[in-house]
Structure 1
Amino acid sequence: MPLKYLLDENVDLSYKVGLSKIESDLIVWAVGEPHCPPRGTLDPEILLWCEEYNFILVTNNRKSMPVHLIDHINEGRHIPGIFLLNVKLTIGQNVDELIFLAEVSFEGEYQDQIIHLPHSYVLGVE
């Protein structure tokens, strides 16, 4: 599995538990954990961290994250991607979607993109 996920600090940690329980090989870290950005880190700094360590950011930040991504790209930087959780899906459905994407995606597929879940439904896979 080429994808690694960093959960931002506003994502419920039950996502990490669910992802790790279903797919133990998947690397899922969360802001505030050792070796991750500390809680309270500003979004632009989190994007820098994700770029450096090749993690896709999993977030529910729909308002400011697109602006931060544009600024990041305009600075000549890149990010492996940002996955936006869907508030209309259950935690379990979002977890299933994140696992699906980790299993079928190739490295670099989501570079500099914001992907709104559920992405598999967009692809016609249910």
Structure 2
Amino acid sequence: MTEIRFQADADLRQAIVTGTVRREPRLDFRSANEAGLEGIKDLEVLALASRDNRVLVTHDRKTIPIEFGQFITVQTSSRVLILAQNLPIGEAIDAIILIWEASTAEE
């Protein structure tokens, strides 16, 4: 079983990435900066996350659901996790760690 790996979208608050990795250092959560996502179009971000077998974590409720729907009609994806912008950072961290602990990449 393979552990889930995460990719932060450029709009995701960095404090969520930092806090998640701080609380669970074994969790693989690549920041948008590390992946060079600033200014990249949504379809390219989805393709990158899919290619690297990572779950994209985003706050983007406006365009990502539409782009993701189009993306999965032609390519496979390792999924998207959309977090509300107003979700407290601690709750966002808890949710990501829970998903990581309770799931595998194959699920």
User: Aligned residue for 1:72?
Assistant: 71
Rg comparison, structure with higher value: 1
Number of corresponding residues: 106
Amino acid in structure 2 at the alignment position of 1:108: E
CA contact (8 A) 1:3 1:107 kept: yes
User: Aligned residue for 2:11?
Assistant: 10
Compare relative contact order (CA 8 Å, sep 6+) and give the higher one, 1 or 2.
2
The structure that is helix-richer by fraction is 2
User: Aligned residue for 1:101?
Assistant: 99
TM, length-normalised to structure 2: 0.91
Which 4+ stretches in 1 moved above 3 angstroms?
Answer: none
1:108: how far off? 2.9
1:86: how far off? 2.6
1:48: how far off? 0.5
CA contact (8 A) 2:53 2:77 kept: yes
Q: Does 1:51 align with 2:89?
A: no
Distance 1:103 1:85 in 2: 18
CA RMSD of aligned residues (A): 1.4
CA distances 1:35-81 after superposition (whole Å, capped 9, x unpaired): x1431110000111011100100001111111111111222x01111
Percent identity between matched residues is 25
TM, length-normalised to structure 1: 0.78
